[in-house]
Structure 1
Amino acid sequence: MNKLAPFILVLIFFVSGNIHAQDWKYDFDEAIKLAKEKDQNIVLLFTGSDWCPPCIKLERKVFSDPEFRKFADKKFVWLKADFPKRKKNRLPEEQSKKNYELAERFNKKMVFPVMLVINKEGTVLGATGYRKMSAKRYMDLLTTFDSFGN
């Protein structure tokens, strides 16, 4: 059994590294502060994580792509406003309130999913939703929006 211990530790290290996703923020003010510190724009995602099929596809096909994750961490501050419907996924009241305030400001029609690229001052530079395209094409699209802010 002792001979397997180093192997298991290495395996856990590699598996946990592959599970890494975007470093999601859930507070707009925190995201703005971090964007200013890092001199980056923000991607604000409005999602219905447990009921919206295109939202789920976006998570599985784009956000989970290893190349996209590397790109995401270097390029943007990530902010998520989730609107789950299942009781088991219910958000704390304070977070739910923050998400609705974000929707009132940036997504009044409650469209899901929508990704907005926002500059450090809170101005929307571009928007997209779910599209049947590769993670690489999403990277290109978000970069195009990002260039408007620089």
Structure 2
Amino acid sequence: MKKIMVLMLLFAVTIGYSQEWKTDFTVAKSEASSQNKNILLVFSGSDWCGPCIKLDRDIWQSAEFKEFAKNNLVLERANFPKKKQNQLAPELKKINEELAEKYNKDGMFPLVVVLDKNGKVLGKTAYKNVSPQEYIDILKSFLK
């Protein structure tokens, strides 16, 4: 019985801190509009870009960011993996390329774009070697 309670607690904590990264911008915009939230669009090279991997590990996976995002953001990831085993479905690759054409013309990785619920750019940043709270403060500065 004790093991079951511990497992249930761990499951509840995991669910509470999970993030739902969208991969369809139309869905992200619709959700942002219905929830009156901004969109955090991240251009990432998940299997080749060192700063992208650090940003995910140090910021996106932090409890502070997860709590902030849950209340304020719809998360959208445009991933551009290079390794053959990580390649995306052609439709998703096309969606990401279209997003890059509109929001990341310079091809920067990682690029973090904060958008309003209609897709208007509020601010852009990249990886910074700062604490999660400092990174959240940077994101908040775009929302004022």
How does the TM-score come out when normalised to structure 2?
0.92
Q: CA RMSD in A?
A: 1.6
Q: Does 1:55 align with 2:61?
A: no
Quote how far apart the aligned CAs of 1:108 are.
Answer: 1.1
Q: Residue 26 of structure 1 is aligned with which of 11, 23, 26?
A: 23
Q: Where does the alignment leave 5 or more consecutive residues of structure 1 unmatched? A: none
List per-residue Cα deviations over 1:7-37 (Å, max 9, x = no partner): 1452354166347432111111111111110
Aligned length: 143
Quote how far apart the aligned CAs of 1:110 are.
Answer: 1.0
Amino acid corresponding to residue 108 of structure 2 in structure 1:
V
Within 2, Cα distance between the matches of 1:115 and 1:16?
A: 29
Query: Superposition pairs for residues 8-87 of structure 1, below 5 Å?
Result: 8-11=4-7, 13-14=9-10, 17-18=13-14, 20-87=17-84
State the SS of the aligned residue for 2:42. Answer: strand
List per-residue Cα deviations over 1:28-65 (Å, max 9, x = no partner): 11111111101111000000001000000001111111
Q: Where does the alignment leave 5 or more consecutive residues of structure 2 unmatched? A: none
Amino acid corresponding to residue 145 of structure 1 in structure 2:
F
Quote how far apart the aligned CAs of 1:122 are.
Answer: 1.3
State the SS of the aligned residue for 2:97. Answer: helix
Could you tell which deviates more after superposition, 98-107 or 118-127?
A: 118-127
- Structure of larger gyration radius: 1
State the SS of the aligned residue for 2:48. Answer: coil
Within 1, Cα distance between the matches of 2:106 and 2:96?
A: 14
Residue in 1 that maps onto 2:111: 114
Amino acid corresponding to residue 7 of structure 1 in structure 2:
K
Within 2, Cα distance between the matches of 1:13 and 1:129?
A: 35
Within 2, Cα distance between the matches of 1:94 and 1:16?
A: 34
Share of identical aligned residues, percent?
43
Please list every run of at least 4 consecutive aligned residues from structure 1 whose deviation after the TM superposition is greater than 3 angstroms.
Answer: 18-21
Residue in 2 that maps onto 1:7: 3
Amino acid corresponding to residue 50 of structure 1 in structure 2:
D
Quote how far apart the aligned CAs of 1:143 are.
Answer: 1.1
Pair 1:128–1:96, CA change in 2 (3 A): same
